[in-house]
Amino acid sequence: MNKWYLCKVSYERQADSIGMKKVTEGYLVDALSFTEAEARVVKEITPFVSVGVLEVVNIRPMRLAELLFDGESDKYYRAKVGLTTIDSNGQERKASMAMLVQANSLRGATEELTAHLDGTLSSYDLVSIGELDILDVFQYIAPPAE
């Protein structure tokens, strides 16, 4: 199971005509600890920072059950889904989980999530969905075995 961290980084970049501008951007990083999340986000973002210092200003864990990528969109949406299941005693159990959906619009994210959840055996409710302010997701990819 992946552990996700929402990392906020701050650095200066060239603005249109006013000179340098300090920006803060969010990234989602797959890591085992806060230390690894910080190291990975610095490694991934440093090549894009041409002037100034890259500073990691915030790291917080984010619980996500699933990620749905389409590979083409540039927006990410966080959805809270309520699942209703039946346990071994025949009792209904409700559980909620958070999912990340990559889509171009809120409607596209809702449609993709609904299409994904229609294949499940349990009934579900889409409790909430909203845009997540991140620019990219850095998922861990294991190096090839030698």
On the question of pLDDT at 15 being above 80, the answer is no
CATH topology of domain 66-132: Ubiquitin-like (UB roll) (3.10.20)
pLDDT in tens, 39-93: 999 999 988 887 778 899 999 999 999 999 888 888 999 999 998 888 888 888 8
For the chain, residues classed under CATH 3.10.20 are: 4-62, 66-132
Q: Are 120 and 97 in contact (CB under 8 A)?
A: no
pLDDT at 1: 62
Half-sphere exposure of 146 (CA within 13 A, CB side): 0
Count of residues for the chain?
146
pLDDT at 88: 83
Pick the CATH number of 4-62 from 3.30.200, 3.10.20, 3.30.70, 2.60.200: 3.10.20
Average pLDDT, the chain: 89
Report the range of poorest mean pLDDT among 16-20, 75-79, 133-137, 138-142.
Answer: 16-20
Tokens at residue 23, please?
């920006």
Across residues 19-28, what is the average pLDDT?
88
Residues 6+ apart with CB under 8 A from 20: 12, 13, 14, 51, 52
Look up the pTM and report it: 0.85
Confidence of residue 103 (pLDDT cuts 50, 70, 90): very high
Across residues 2-9, what is the average pLDDT?
93
Residues of the chain with pLDDT > 70, as a percent, come to 99
DSSP state of 52: S
